[in-house]
Amino acid sequence: MSEKTTLVVTAVPNPAEMPAVQEYLKGVLPLLQGAGGKLVKRLKVNKPIHGNPSGMVLVMDFDSAEAITKMFESDDYAALVPVRDRGFSEMNIQLTQEM
């Protein structure tokens, strides 16, 4: 039986490429939801206390790591990678589980 997995994404949008940011978000959210993702929070970082500041945070729950991994390995997601890379100067995509 697979354990529930939480996807945590931190990202720094490229201010010179905001159309690409919007295109990526418009394309990736349906893929995440199609993989069974349930939105927990979408956040804007107001004040970093320590570490590299990110501009955006996304937290979604999935029934399993396999479901989300399969989505990130899909051709549909691969088509978004060039848009992602234009729109964001940094993006960290992490699968997490409760400790």
Any domain includes 24: yes
Q: Domains in the chain: how many in total?
A: 1
Alpha helix locations (H) across 1-99?
18-34, 65-72, 75-87
Name residues whose C-beta falls within 8 Å of residue 98's C-beta, 6 or more positions apart in sequence.
4
Say which DSSP state 73 is in. T
Q: Is residue 4 part of a domain?
A: no
Range of the domain at 92: 13-43+57-96
The answer to whether position 25 is within a domain reads yes
Give 69-96 pLDDT, tens digit per residue: 999 999 999 999 999 999 999 999 999 9
pLDDT at 65: 94
| 2 token code pair | 């697979």
The answer to whether the pTM exceeds 0.75 is yes
**Is 50 a member of any domain?**
no
- Rounded CA separation 64/84 (Å): 24
Give tens-digit pLDDT for 1-52. 468 999 999 999 999 999 999 999 999 999 999 999 999 999 999 988 898 8
* pLDDT at residue 2 in the model: 60
**60: which residues sit within 8 A by CB, 6+ positions away?**
6, 7, 32, 37, 38, 39, 40
- Domain presence at residue 88: yes
φ, ψ of residue 35 in degrees (nearest 5): -85, 5
Tell whether 3 is covered by a domain.
Answer: no
- Assigned domain for 80 exists: yes
Q: Residue 52: what pLDDT?
A: 81
35 inside domain: yes
